[in-house]
Structure 1
Amino acid sequence: MPRGRRRLLLTVALSASVLLGALVLGFLGFVTNLPDKVAEPMRRTDAIVVLTGGSDRVSTGLRLLERGRASKLFVSGVYKGVDVSELLRVSQQAPRWLTCCVTLGYEAETTAGNAVESAHWVQSQNFQSVRLVTAAYHMPRSLLEFRRRMPQVEIVPHPVFPEHVKQDEWWRWPGSAHLLIDEYGKYLVARVRALIVGPLQAAGVNG
């Protein structure tokens, strides 16, 4: 094999090894830093925003609203055809008087869409602080998208912990491992998009 080609192959192999190592270390850091508790459970914010994707998220948001942690609740990414009464009925524990304080968003289909939809609602209400309710493994990407869309609004994370996701010993549970690896990949894509879109927005280009 010619020396030049051998050198090229070695360079490619070394670069691939470095990249793989960086991805593995990044993933381990991502999993290690996932929230394992609610940092400020008693704090009151102007509003609560729940991202759909699990029944425990909605029930947690409704419970927080009932306990006075905020005066309004916005649920983003709701299936079309579901109204507030149906949402309260499915949640079972939510009292009927909460109907007046819950708003549903039907447009979002992605986490980035959740952030856009929620930002429009938050800005329309002139709120300055929001408690964000979503799964713990989903929180890093959600915070990234929400803070990018609402830089002037304080976002207080409120993670929930689905029983089927084993954060502590994820390597022993193939389902949890696959979910966390997939979420890490989506988080990296969101980070790259933020790096690209941020400067474009600063230059006046919509993103």
Structure 2
Amino acid sequence: MHHSFRPKTKLTSLAPEPMRRSPLRRMLRWCGFVCIVGAAILIAGFLRFADSITTMQPPADPHADAIVVLTGGYQRIDQAVELLEKGAGKRLLISGAHPSTTATQIRKMTSGPANLFSCCVDIGYDAIDTIGNAEETSNWIRTKGYRRVLVVTNNYHMPRSLAELSYVNPDIEFVPYPVVNSDLRTRDWFVDSNAMRVMLAEYVKCLAAGLRNLTGFGRHSGLRSEGAVNDL
């Protein structure tokens, strides 16, 4: 019987070799991871910011050398004038008033006593934004020699205001007196599109202010004219 000889063949694996990840794929993976972590940090930061705003309350017994109110709403000025009348500070600066607004108009709008305005109220017209408020207030503080100042503005605007004021005046003690926005007092403010828009916009501005103050990049005077100093 004749048997044909067949050489044994070596079996080879048909499974493909594992593909090595390209540098581009690794980079995209890490970028995605960084974006997820960054988004989580931003969301957590916003929730913390929102909580601090909605729970912010004015001090029970405010007292300082002087008072500054940052314009942006008549409610703020009303509150500041009332604090001045109660003796919470010796003098009041209304920072960022429009050039066409007179002291008489502001007095009538707040129903403040004429003698109080003539003796103890200064009006600043140079500031055009929060940075300008800080610069204008700094000029006023240096002129008057104050060390402790009560700051009146809306609660959502307070963190950024204090950051800008402290950046320009690191040796001055600023005491926040927030004017509480009724729209933010309720627990369901986040379903109000207007309240949510205000909170998100202010949060972004706070982040930008912190980055600007840290790096110094993009910082401007915030005054109507460069180097302007009010004779307050």
Q: TM-score, normalising length from structure 1? A: 0.89
C-alpha distance in structure 1 between counterparts of 2:20 and 2:185, whole Å: 50
> Is the 1:76–1:118 contact (alpha carbons within 8 Å) kept by the matching residues of 2?
yes
In the alignment, which residue of structure 2 is the partner of 1:194? 213
Quote how far apart the aligned CAs of 1:37 are: 1.1
Alignment of 1:66-145 (within 5 A): 66-92=85-111, 94-99=112-117, 100-145=119-164
Deviations 1:90-127 (A, max 9, x none): 113x1222112111111111111100110100110011
Q: Return the TM-score normalized by structure 2.
A: 0.80
Greater fraction helix: 1
Paired position in structure 2 for 1:173: 192
Distance 2:33 2:189 in 1: 29
The structure with more radius of gyration: 2
> Which ranges of 4 or more aligned residues in structure 1 deviate by more than 4 Å?
none
Deviation for aligned residue 1:6: 2.1
Alignment partner of 1:3: what SS? coil
Q: Distance in 1 between matches of 2:194 and 2:201?
A: 11
Percent of aligned pairs with the same amino acid = 34
Q: CA deviation at 1:2?
A: 8.1
Supply the distance in 2 between the matched residues of 1:118 and 1:13 (Cα, whole angstroms): 44
- Judged with a 3 Å threshold, the aligned counterparts in structure 2 of structure 1 residues 194 and 38 are, in CA distance, closer, same or farther, namely same
2:221 corresponds to which residue? none
SS of the residue corresponding to residue 148 of structure 1 reads: helix
**How many residues in Structure 1 have an aligned counterpart in Structure 2?**
196
Structure 1 residues 49, 168: closer, same or farther in 2, change over 3 A? Answer: farther
**Counterpart for residue 38 of structure 1:** 58
